[in-house]
A and B are shown apart, each in its own frame.
Chain A
């Protein structure tokens, strides 16, 4: 009889309820990033949102989340609804594929330069007048030098610092690992506090007055000087260091859920634009666009940069050998 009316009404209700979540002219993005990109992305987000609104008319709100790079990546795997991730090493982005299948395996090939829009490196921040006369890696292992480095197990910053010291010694010993083992062992013996992220290490060194030298990314080193002008901290660029490649990716599964795929991709592509590269340079990230990098020779001192691949065979190998449980770092470091 009339049952079809009720059945139809029931289906309409279900369909109505499910179809109701439609997109509006407002969008929100969540950028999950590592510890020391706060200031850069605050400006970058503002610039991109304005550009996006001018282009599409949509109002864009961009939220940021920061922490130790690896911890952040794990948070995304655990459910933190990032639309994009901007990490400081490929392994942390790779985790989103290997552990969560949140992104495809070929994520690195979706954007130019293996999805690395800007680079950085590890430099030293010392106290006023550089009283311990720290110039290069060997100076860090003197008995009277206290070094602040974040935990390589939880922080990309710490991992790069470790690999920079390792690579420096390995290159000098022509591949003999005894020398880097000694250097890294002594280096971490001089570390009184292991923070979980780069910004925490900055607070330990500059905010709490602990240690003689801070190892951190080049952009963070400048930020530290800026934020603690009274301390007259100085940046020391060692003669060689590691090239820190900072990859980015949109998180496919989350953007599909949030209907933010287009804006997320545009956001990351904007990092490669001239405006994006200029902004990166302004915050002391080394642009991957050679023309823009060349515009700032004073800002980015020349030093010999070696890649993780050159000194460890790649990030996967580095992770397995050095930072996995029971790896070289665990063997060399004894918590105080």
Chain B
């Protein structure tokens, strides 16, 4: 027995205390001078010595009882820790630390006992309780409890790795499988606008009105790791419609295939997320590209975004159109875009945010009204101001205009972001073949804009949404981020449009507008926009109370400059 104890002391220093306690038991069980002889009778001793021995026995018994109690507590706590560990790894870690402290204390008690044993060794004899566990057994129990806790934690950890995850944050709500191969995100966009038009004359102006501009639940996610999808209906406007519904296969970031309904690749600002645009309404160039397309597109980002490309085939869609899901359009459109950010991955910070590229599309139309621009702000196809009023319409005095012949677009574009400053510029050509009866023309319409932003609070300006460094929190004196924005742009209609395709007395052939605004980003999710936009028109504007056609847009619009104040409260998550 002694030999075993000695060998364990040598091989496992951690058990020294336990071995010593056993030595104590042996020592008090046998006379110090003759440890190999069984103690049949206690040696003669004075009454005082006997008392000391009894006291020592009592102390030892109490200490052992405390140890047993401690073990009981540890076992109980171990079971509790197991349950806690299954719920939270963190809770387990805390318990484990506490457990380590307790073990240290226990070890201290054992060491203390060793000391007492040393002092008692020569003073008398004592018999340990027959069923008292040995220190080694106690150590084993402690180790077993620890290991069980460890395994419980491992099991909890393994279970956590295979358990679905729920994430809630500024990016919306997300459910994902443990391996993230399956993800479902629920996001949303709500934009409540108010537009106030300045009434410059007696004619009708725009409607001063609240407007639920966009109310879109956004459902997106991933299935089988490489397949992404998005579904975006819009409950804003006069009817519910689907804006985005697509499936994307990502073989690599450089090689992706997208099919469904989504934004076409041509226009720069058109590609900017609705929640991120600087103003309530996009500039003129977006009027010359399709808002959405239905088709299939190969696309990708090369060299970590240094270059990106997109090329696809779509149903043809007229300028600014968001085609119906069931439009049967035989005419197809090929569209593509190349965009470069050559310094994105360099250390040249002043140029890192420089990007430029070009988008283009081509289609051949066979007499189709849907190939013309949308009808927003009027009853016929045409183009609108930022106040969403139609200043140009295909409204000849006689006949009906349809798209016919080639329709191509070319859209050179650039962005620049440096610190809190940002610039966005694009020039878009939309050459549209039109037909009115037997008359045909290719109309070369152009638009351009330059918009700038400056984030007063210093956050980095980006093409995407701002992330305020100090989200709005009155309790802590934080006000979010403030962003100044400005824009100038023009839209020029080809003179060949007049008079056989558009009435020059009613429609303008040019609109030029500027706008300034200030955006308050309370946080990443909430933004309040305020801006003022002014638009001048060239052409059109004839008003004649006797002619009904002059009592509606575009005549009522082009008769005066447009001055409008926009406000918006936006929730995007």
**Cβ B334 vs Cβ A128 within 8 A:** no
Output the least CB separation between B72 and chain A (Å): 14
Whether the Cβ atoms of B147 and A232 lie closer than 8 Å is no
Instruction: Given A13-B296, A21-B251, answer yes or no on A3-B332 (Cβ-Cβ < 8 Å).
Output: yes
CB of B194, distance to nearest CB on chain A (Å) = 43
Binary interface profile of B, 326-352, with partner A (CB < 8 Å = 1, else 0)? 000011111000000000000000000
Establish whether residues A209 and B313, one from each chain, have CB atoms under 8 Å apart when the complex forms.
no
Give Cα distance in the complex from A10 to B363, angstroms.
13
Is A140 an interface position by the 8 A CB rule?
no
Q: Determine if A204 is an interface residue (Cβ-Cβ < 8 Å).
A: yes
Q: Which residues of A contact B311 (CB under 8 A)?
A: 13
Q: Is A143 an interface residue (CB 8 A)?
A: no
B475: interface (CB < 8 Å): no
For residues 19 through 44 of chain A, which have their beta carbon under 8 Å from a beta carbon of chain B? 20-21
CA A254 – CA B171 in complex, angstroms? 35
What does the 1/0 interface line of A109-135 toward B look like (CB < 8 Å)?
000000000000000000011010000
B4 near A131 (CB under 8 angstroms)?
yes
Contact A3 B330 (CB under 8 A): yes
B298 touches A193 (CB 8 A): no
Is B379 in contact with chain A by the CB < 8 A criterion? no
Task: Enumerate A148-195 residues with CB–CB distance to B below 8 Å.
Answer: 192-193, 195
In the complex, which residues 294-311 of chain B have their Cβ closer than 8 Å to any Cβ of chain A?
295-298, 311
Contacts of A209 in B (CB 8 A): 12, 14-15, 143
B333 proximity list for chain A (CB < 8 A): 6
Q: Are B147 and A193 in contact (CB under 8 A)?
A: yes
- A219 beta carbon closer than 8 Å to chain B: no
A16 lies within 8 A of chain B by Cβ: yes
For A21, the chain B residues whose CB sits under 8 A away are: 251
Contact A129 B7, beta carbon cutoff 8 Å: yes
B144 lies within 8 A of A193 (CB) = yes
Is the CB–CB distance between B251 and A13 below 8 Å?
no
* A interface residues, how many (CB within 8 angstroms): 31
Interface pair B140/A146, CB less than 8 Å apart: yes
Assuming the contacts A14-B296, A17-B249, A193-B151, asked whether A128 and B255 have C-beta atoms less than 8 A apart, the reply is: no
Query: Chain A 194-225 against B: per-residue CB contact (8 Å), 1 yes, 0 no?
Result: 01100010001000111000000000000000
Q: Which of A85-130 contact B (CB under 8 A)?
A: 128-129
A290 an interface residue at 8 Å Cβ cutoff? Answer: no
Q: Scan residues 240-290 of chain B and give those whose CB is less than 8 A from a CB of chain A.
A: 249, 251, 255-257
A10-B295 in contact given A3-B332, A209-B12 (Cβ < 8 Å): yes
Bound-complex Cα distance A3 to B251 (A): 29
B440 within 8 A of A: no
A17 and B143 within 8 A (CB): no
Cβ of B249 and Cβ of A7 under 8 Å apart? no
B-side contacts of A231, CB under 8 Å? 11-12
Instruction: Tell me whether A1 and B366 are in contact in the complex, defined as CB-CB below 8 angstroms, given that A13-B311, A17-B298, A129-B7 are known contacts.
Output: yes
**Which B residues are in CB contact (< 8 Å) with A1?**
364, 366
* A9 CB within 8 Å of chain B: yes
* Bound: A230/B255 CA distance, A: 55
A210: B residues at CB distance < 8 A: 140, 143-144, 147
- Measured CB to CB, the closest approach of chain A to B351, in angstroms, equals 32
Give Cα A113 to B207, complex, Å: 85
> Given that A13-B296, A13-B297, A231-B11 are known contacts, is A20 also in contact with B366, CB under 8 Å in the complex?
no
Cα distance A146–B251 when bound, in Å? Answer: 54
Interface hits, B74-103 → A, CB 8 Å: none
Chain A contacts for B295, CB-based, 8 A: 10
Chain B residues with Cβ below 8 Å from A9 are 313, 334
CA of A230 to CA of B10, assembled, Å:
10
B148 sits at the interface (CB 8 A)? yes
- Cβ distance B42 to chain A, nearest Cβ, rounded Å: 31
Judging by beta carbons under 8 Å apart, are B334 and A6 in contact?
Answer: yes
B157 within 8 A of A: no
Q: Does B146 have its Cβ within 8 Å of any Cβ on chain A?
A: yes
Contacts of A2 in B (CB 8 A): 364
Say yes or no for B170: interface residue by CB 8 A criterion.
Answer: no
Please name the residue on chain B nearest to A78 by beta carbon.
Answer: B162
The smallest C-beta distance from A16 to any residue of chain B, in angstroms, reads 6
Bound state CA distance, A2 and B407, in angstroms?
Answer: 13
Beta-carbon contact of B12 and A13 below 8 Å:
no
Q: Which A residues touch B11, using CB under 8 A?
A: 128, 230-232
Question: In the bound complex, what is the Cα–Cα distance between A179 and B154 (angstroms)?
Answer: 36
B150 contacts which chain A residues (CB < 8 A)? 208
Complex: how many Å from CA A13 to CA B143? Answer: 63
A139 to B15, CA, bound (A): 25
Assuming A1-B366, A14-B257, A17-B257, is B144 touching A6 (CB within 8 A)? Answer: no
Give the docked Cα–Cα distance between A18 and B330 (Å).
25
When C-beta atoms are compared, the residue in chain B nearest to A13 turns out to be: B298
Q: Which residues of A contact B146 (CB under 8 A)?
A: 208
Do B298 and A128 touch across chains, with their CB atoms under 8 A apart? no
Instruction: Choose one: B143, B257, B313; the contact of A6 (CB below 8 Å).
Output: B313
The smallest beta-carbon distance between A17 and chain B, in angstroms, is 4
Interface centre among A1, A7, A17 (most CB of B within 10 A): A17
Residues of chain A within 8 A of B4, CB atoms compared: 131
Provide the residues of chain B in CB contact with A146, threshold 8 Å. 140
Which partner residue on chain B sits nearest A129 by CB separation? B7
Interface: B323 (CB within 8 A): no
Residue among B140, B151, B251, B332 making CB contact with A7, cutoff 8 Å: B332
Chain A min CB distance to B150 (Å): 8
C-alpha gap A210/B155 in the complex (Å) = 19
Query: In the assembly, what is the distance between CA of A20 and CA of B364, in Å?
Result: 30
A20: nearest chain-B partner, CB-CB: B255
B147, B249, B331: which contacts A3 (Cβ < 8 A)? B331
Do A193 and B148 contact each other (CB < 8 Å), given the known contacts A10-B295, A210-B140?
yes
Q: Does B359 have its Cβ within 8 Å of any Cβ on chain A?
A: no
Which residues does chain A contribute within 8 Å of B155, judged by CB atoms? 196
Contact of B422 with A by CB under 8 A: no
Contact A16 B298 (CB under 8 A): yes
The one of A20, A192, A232 in contact with B144, judged by C-beta atoms closer than 8 angstroms, is A192
What separation, in Å, do the CA atoms of A250 and B331 have in the docked complex? Answer: 50
Chain A residues with Cβ below 8 Å from B332 are 3, 6-7, 10
Residues of A within 8 A of B17 (CB): none
29 contacts between A and B (CB under 8 A): A1-B364, A2-B364, A3-B330, A6-B333, A6-B334, A7-B332, A9-B313, A10-B295, A10-B313, A13-B257, A13-B312, A17-B251, A17-B298, A18-B257, A20-B251, A21-B251, A79-B179, A131-B4, A193-B147, A193-B151, A200-B154, A204-B147, A208-B146, A208-B147, A209-B15, A210-B140, A210-B144, A210-B147, A232-B11
Which residues of A does B touch, CB under 8 Å? 1-3, 6-7, 9-10, 13-14, 16-18, 20-21, 79, 128-129, 131, 146, 192-193, 195-196, 200, 204, 208-210, 230-232
- In addition to A9-B334, A10-B313, A210-B140, 4 A-B residue pairs with Cβ atoms within 8 Å of each other are A17-B255, A17-B257, A79-B181, A231-B11
The 6 A-B pairs with the shortest beta carbon distances in the complex, nearest first, are A6-B332, A17-B257, A10-B313, A192-B144, A13-B298, A210-B143
